[in-house]
Structure 1
């Protein structure tokens, strides 16, 4: 991969990662509920899901997903149901005193649970795999070994996404410290619940193909 090609891919990664989606909502939700240090485990889980997606595309399984209506539908509806589950949890999330943010993780979801949450959010989005199947090959030099190029692209995507999700998680964690009343926290929790539900609704509209 030439430097010019990598720079173009690097810019594309920022555009894709900054675009609000289920991953950004999940990161902000975790930052809101658990603070930055604990909530960032969700962002790490999102990267595991990203590794899975790149691996699927590199292995050629993405082409099967793009052409198999059954496989696409099963993964899509898993993602829809999981996002609705997260919406319900966020709607019912308890409010907490701002000073207790650092301790909230002790009684909340474990880091491994948040890691799994991020993984499942990305794994339940077949549109992302089909999108990568359409986009990644455009940056490949087919006359050169493909594996090193996929490794470079995967590492670039993960590095950019870690930075972006750190911003989303940190922003939400700061919002929690600014909330002083249970009513304010409840409104924000239900706002994020609505965002999760909206992401689930958007996913129901996804069809095979990338247009």
Structure 2
């Protein structure tokens, strides 16, 4: 892959990651509640889910999933149900008394797997990667190194963007000094998860 082609792919990767989605909502929710450092497990979990999607496409299975109505529908509705569950859980989440109590409220392990499942059940990512990768593959060169380069670029860029989202959200924590404000923000993020579920439910292949 030439430098010019990689730079073009890099720009596409940034635009993909910056676009709001369930992963960004998850990161901002964690960032505001736990701060940047405590959001790292969730960010890494998102990358596990994203990496699995990239491997799926790289192995040629993405095209199979994208062409199978049953497989795509099953994955889609699992994702919808999970996002709705996250939204309801966030809406009902109790307010935090102190920073210390909040930090121990959700384990790093739970944050990691919750976030991983958000990306694992996102069929849009599979379909998008199936459409994206061929546009940047050089036909006369070995495909594996190119796919590794593109996959690594996507994950590194997404990590950096999610860190930015977490940092931005963490700055809102100073305003969360009263139970009323905390309940309001929990309900805002809970509603956003449900909206993301509705968007995912409305997703149809071209």
TM-score normalised by L of structure 1: 0.94
Q: 1:101 is matched with which residue: 99, 102, 108?
A: 99
Residue 191 of structure 1 deviates from its aligned partner by 0.4
* Number of corresponding residues: 206
Q: Does 1:115 align with 2:112?
A: yes
Residue 33 of structure 1 deviates from its aligned partner by 2.4
Q: 1:206 is matched with which residue: 168, 180, 203?
A: 203
Residue 101 of structure 1 deviates from its aligned partner by 2.6
Q: Does 1:160 align with 2:157?
A: yes
Structure-2 separation of matches of 1:76 and 1:181: 37
Structure-2 separation of matches of 1:40 and 1:124: 20
Aligned to 1:144: 141
RMSD: 1.2
Alignment of 1:20-39 (within 5 A): 20-39=20-39
Aligned to 2:5: 5
Structure-2 separation of matches of 1:105 and 1:172: 16
Aligned to 2:167: 170
TM-score normalised by L of structure 2: 0.96
Residue 146 of structure 1 deviates from its aligned partner by 0.8
**Structure 1: runs of 5 or more not aligned:** none
**Structure 2: runs of 5 or more not aligned:** none
Q: Is 1:72–1:208's contact at 8 Å kept on the other side of the alignment?
A: no
Aligned to 2:59: 59
